[in-house]
Structure 1
Amino acid sequence: AANGIITRGVLLDIARVRDVPWLEPGQGVFPEDLEEAERRQGVRVRSGDAVLLRTGYGRVRHETGAANGFTQAGWHASCLPWLHERGVALIGADTPQDVQPSG
């Protein structure tokens, strides 16, 4: 990636899927959440895509203040096979890490 990366990005809005303004600390995002986001948003994650999660972290930080860093919503480890099967090239999120405590 010395010269950068160019690929399609897909934002999956998990907070919207769960009909909440944000995911609570410690809530994991699971493969069924990813599939429901695809369905609701009318998109399909494809090989080579960058998949980005929206958990609502920015909104919760803005409305409630700093997080403690020890509990976060985010990717659950059970998403790894799903991401591999889809051939996802990159992942990202509006949180600094996967779900904490780790799952």
Structure 2
Amino acid sequence: MTQTETDIEGTLLDEALIVSFAELTRLCGTNGRAVKLMVAEGLLRPQGCQPDDWRFSGDEIRRARLAVRLQHDLDLNLAGTALALDLLDELDRLRTRLQALELLAEQRRR
């Protein structure tokens, strides 16, 4: 990866971006143990079998960074972080569904 952490800060992360285990730890400002615990807890789902082989997508980077921020800012443990991320994911799904339903209702009114 040629981008620095500062470059990533201002870049929209997409699914096409793939980083290694070491790159993810740098991007999140955390250590390898914390990332391994997130994987063990199911917060992150890397491609590959072992940490040296793990690859993380842009969505996983976003999720890992959010998890680190939640743990730091709200002093959450790993289980609390997992719950918070699940709830935020559900909120995103519901918002998307609501937008689709509102669009459908608008089209039917025409």
Give the TM interval when normalised to the shorter protein: under 0.3
The structure with the greater share of residues assigned to strand is 1
Indicate the structure whose relative CO is greater, using CA pairs within 8 Å and at least 6 residues apart: 1
Larger Rg: 2
Query: TM-score, normalised to structure 1's length?
Result: 0.26
Give TM-score, length-normalised by structure 2: 0.25
